[in-house]
Amino acid sequence: MAAALSGPLRPELAQAVSQARVLVVGAGGIGCELLKNLVLTGFSNIYVIDLDTIDVSNLNRQFLFQKKHVGRSKSQVAKESVLQFCPEANIIAYHDSIMNPDYNVEFFRQFTLVMNALDNRAARNHVNRMCLAADIPLIESGTAGYLGQVTVIKKGVTECYECQPKPTQKTFPGCTIRNTPSEPIHCIVWAKYLFNQLFGEEDADQEVSPDRADPEAAWEPAEAEARALASNEDGEIKRVSTKEWAKSTGYDPVKLFTKLFKDDIRYLLTMDKLWRKRKPPVPLDWAEVQKQEQNIPDQQNESSAVLKDQQVLNVRSYADLFSKSVKTLSLHLAEKADGEALIWDKDDPSAMDFVTAAANLRMHVFGMNMKSRFDIKSMAGNIIPAIATTNAVIAGLIVLEGLKILSGKIDQCRTIFLNKQPNPRKKLLVPCALDPPNPNCYVCASKPEVTVKLNTHKVTVLTLQDKILKEKFAMVAPDVQIEDGKGTILISSEEGETEANNHRKLSDFGIRNGSRLQADDFLQDYTLLINLLHSEDLEKDVEFEVVGDTPERIGPKPSEPASRNISNGSDDGAQPSTSTAPEQEDVVIVDSEDEGTSSNAADAESRSRKRKLEKGCGCGGAKRSRAEQEQDDLMIVESEDEGAASSLGEEESRSHKRKLEEKGCECVGAKSVC
Residue 299, Cβ neighbours under 10 Å: how many? 10
3-state SS assignment for residue 294: coil
74 marked among binding-site residues = yes
Half-sphere exposure of 190 (CA within 13 A, CB side): 29
Give dist(CA 456, CA 454) in Å, integer: 6
- Nearest alpha carbon to residue 256 among 267, 265, 245, 266: 245
Give dist(CA 635, CA 637) in Å, integer: 6
**Amino acid (one-letter) located at 406:** L
**Alpha-carbon distance values, 56 to 25, 60, 572, 576 (Å):** 21, 8, 27, 19
117 marked among binding-site residues = no
List phi, psi (to 5°) of 422.
-60, 145
Give dist(CA 526, CA 522) in Å, integer: 6
CA angle 79, 99, 460 (to 5 degrees): 160
100 marked among binding-site residues = no
61 marked among binding-site residues = yes
Asked if 355 contacts 380 with a C-beta cutoff of 8 angstroms, the reply is yes
432 marked among binding-site residues = no
29 marked among binding-site residues = yes
175 is catalytic: yes
List phi, psi (to 5°) of 617.
50, 30
Query: Which one of 86, 131, 175, 619 is the catalytic residue?
Result: 175
145 marked among binding-site residues = no
* Cα-to-chain-centroid distance, residue 230: 35
27 marked among binding-site residues = yes
Give dist(CA 96, CA 156) in Å, integer: 30
113 marked among binding-site residues = no
Radius of gyration for the chain, computed over Cα atoms and rounded to the nearest angstrom: 26
β partners of residue 450: 530
123 marked among binding-site residues = yes
577 marked among binding-site residues = no
Give dist(CA 245, CA 565) in Å, integer: 50
CA angle 60, 63, 64 (to 5 degrees): 140
341 marked among binding-site residues = no
20 marked among binding-site residues = no
Asked if 116 contacts 394 with a C-beta cutoff of 8 angstroms, the reply is no
Asked if 489 contacts 481 with a C-beta cutoff of 8 angstroms, the reply is yes
42 marked among binding-site residues = no
> How many residues are recorded in the chain?
674
CB-based contacts of 203, cutoff 8 Å, min separation 6: 193, 196
125 marked among binding-site residues = no
**Alpha-carbon distance values, 239 to 136, 230, 245, 552 (Å):** 53, 13, 10, 33
609 marked among binding-site residues = no
**32-55: string of b/e by CB count within 10 Å (b at 16+)?**
bbbbbbbbebbbbbbbbbbbbbbb
122 marked among binding-site residues = yes
564 marked among binding-site residues = no
Asked if 89 contacts 83 with a C-beta cutoff of 8 angstroms, the reply is yes
124 marked among binding-site residues = yes
Give dist(CA 193, CA 207) in Å, integer: 7
- Residue-wise DSSP of 167-214: PPPP---HHHHHT---SHHHHHHHHHHHHHHHTS---GGG--S--TT-
- Residue-wise DSSP of 117-146: --S-HHHHHHHHHHHHHHT--EEEEEEETT
128 marked among binding-site residues = no
413 marked among binding-site residues = no
617 marked among binding-site residues = no
Give dist(CA 450, CA 527) in Å, integer: 11
Annotated binding site: 26-31, 50, 58-61, 74, 97-98, 119-124, 160, 163, 441, 444
Annotated binding site for ATP: 26-31, 50, 58-61, 74, 97-98, 119-124
Q: What residues are labeled active site?
A: 175
Annotated binding site for Zn(2+): 160, 163, 441, 444
